[in-house]
Structure 1
Amino acid sequence: MAETIEDEGFCLTPPVTLQKSVEYMETPEPFVGRSKPQNVTFVDNTAATATATLSVAQAKGVSSLQWRQVQDVLRWRNPAVSALAFLLGGFCCLAGEYIISGNHTVTPLKAISYCILFDLGLNTVRSMVSAQWQDKAAWGSSSLIKTAAETAKVAVLKVADLHDQFLAARDPLLTLRIASAVSALSVLGGIFSFWRLVSLAFFGAFAAGAVYETYGKEITSFLQTATTQIKERWQALALSRRHKAVALTVALWILWVNVNWAARAQALLLGALTVRCNLKPAEVNAIISHAEPYMHSAKKRARRMSVVATDFVRRQSMGLTQTKSHDK
């Protein structure tokens, strides 16, 4: 039986098939406190919900298709396409390595200056040849610049989404994995430069893809067996939380003695994340409830210090201004 909403001279009976996709929004003001609503708005969000769901599904389908194509290229399933991508990528890696650290005298600042001079010279030639061609050299009304701006906006929003997904520290286990991977990258960064690391990752991806395409089943079975054995042996130890804490403390102490300050900070972060992964939700809530009052007081003190510093800077600037005017 459909629900009926009655008002003075007004009756609205929605169909039964639309009850799950229809909202009734009452206007809260200026009729607050009256017995019956004076205005009823009939809102159907079915089309918007369906459009959003379809857009998400299409985005997931496109991303999965792109990832499948990348896998096909890296695993040499189409040798011609994979060889072409390998040659082009290898040429870009070698050219970038030569540009960054090759035997030449071109620095980044000099390269930027050359690009600006080239653009200036090209626009000068345009101004001498054709007025219409000169108008096309303007960037302000260029569709290419607008497209680049939109692309940059989409890229910034995508980076923000990736940050919220992986770096917001909502999932302790995921955060620990990312912190471990980034710490490993920092160690590799001390050995290789950024571009050499990218080049090694590019060539390694093609080599690993070829090996995995040939011996994929053997590698997968070996990794599964090794992972299962490691888990079984770790569970067979039956370590308590106290034993784990002692082992973690000893490992952190060994790292603290033998490494520099940057590695010590990374070790402390990894240790804190390991402890966080072993805490129960009730313990996390207890820590938050005890820490929030101190955080509020710290924020208040920071605001007061900011106000005091701003007032001090303003007084000093006013005093300097008055002194200069008096000297004149």
Structure 2
Amino acid sequence: MIYIYLYRLPPNSLPRMNKVILVTGANSGIGLALCERLLCQDRQIQLCLACRNMQRAEAARSALLVSHSDAQISILRLDVGSTQSVLKAAREVKQRYNRLDYLYLNAGIMPNPQVDFKALFKGLFSRNVIHMFATAEGLLTQQDRVNPDGLQEVFATNLFGHFLLVRELEPLLCQPGHTAQLIWTSSSNARRSAFSLDDIQHHKGVEPYSSSKYASDLLSLALNRHYNSQGVFSSVICPGLVMTNLTYGILPSFFWTLIMPVMWLIRVFTNTFTLTPYNGAEALSWLFLQKPESLDPLAKYHSLTSGFGNNYTQPRKMDMDEDMSEALYKQLLELESNVRKKIEEEEQDTRAHGQYLNQTE
């Protein structure tokens, strides 16, 4: 008779699976601050910095390694405003990793911001000064343009590129017994009044940034409806008013020098003026520690900072409904299908042209 003895390891001795985290727009601002905070919370994570500029990505990686010399940090070339770049980057991610635990959809642009200076100066001396700075409502517009893919640039970068990335990385996100989180960096500038289902790319409007951020809030709700059953959960955060390269591009540098003391003073009376990227990344960092299935899909998680500099996260209900989010999701699926078809046709044309050249040589 043969006896087989099974030895069960105690729970604490079981091999620990390091969490795999990908952050878009990770080379500066809130994205870089988030990476620093994640490494402080868990030194064993596998962190991938997905950036458009490889030189700046390498600089960010080097800066993180100064304080976390044993960290596992890789970089990935990704321009979420380019469908070809998204598809290529997704293929590379699937070659590097066998799963993905966190996907931080953080990259975003606000090109050519235009400020209504009359409204700005009027608001500075009104009771609405805090609301004006926190949301830029009635104050800020942008000049958008069409990118090489034929899409509106802000829509493509802030929303569609990330949607396509999620779709491409489904095999790493949706796995049996595995839970994954999608976390969107939204904005207090995300307003329902700036978005229209009849113009999801915001061709006709002058607030593409606000439109794209509200659309990301809607999309997060739809993703939960379609992916929760597969173990994927989506959340949205608002970083508050943060001084980053994106913010500094809104006004001339001398103007920021003049009003920064005022903004620090205002912070005493409001918790939405986070001001620094580290503070702005509070909600992103907080979500890393939560059980995703316990989060509210209709809440936006706000990074807040008290007048004394204490950071905390607070959920606030979003102004949206499921019918609108589902309608947007269906339009994005249709656009994805059209984009893929266009890419396939271009690849076929390229192959046919190459074969023609080979035959004529």
TM-score band, normalised by the shorter chain?
A: under 0.3
Structure of greater Rg: 1
Bigger relative contact order (CA 8 A; separation at least 6): 2
User: Higher helix proportion, which one?
Assistant: 1
- Normalised by the length of structure 1, the TM-score is 0.26
